[in-house]
Amino acid sequence: MINFSCRYIASQDTLRPLCDLLSVADAKIVEVALTGIENILRAGEEAVKESNGTVVNPYAMQIEECFGLDKIEYLQQHENKIIYKKAYDIIENFFNEGDDAGIDSAVQPDSTSGSYAFGAAAATPQNGFAL
């Protein structure tokens, strides 16, 4: 029943206003907004599990689109420990795809050689550069 309620609330375009509340000065409002966002993200994860992982969490995507993820990341530096912990948990549970996620191996340097090489054509001329 809770997942259905969270899905309904999220379907009413409430994620953007909830993310906007993450910027207010009142810590209690921020805490409540984070709790709501976390519950909605949890409902989205249930939808992902029901689809056997063939879809991504649609609510996580909506939060990223309205810059809510940036706000949540910023809240990891909040002086209120409850807010810090909630923000950290949301990032860890719903947005953390591993340390190497999104790194293109074609542009990642070869860490085994101990140096960076830019191809054979990048070698320095033996007589130096001519001016």
Q: What is the CATH number of the domain that holds 36?
A: 1.25.10.10
> What's the rounded Cα separation, in Å, for the pair 58 and 60?
5
In a domain, 64, yes or no: yes
Q: pLDDT tier at 102 (50, 70, 90 boundaries)?
A: very low
> Domain range holding 34?
2-95
pTM here is 0.69
Number of domains making up the chain: 1
* Mean pLDDT value of segment 56-69: 92
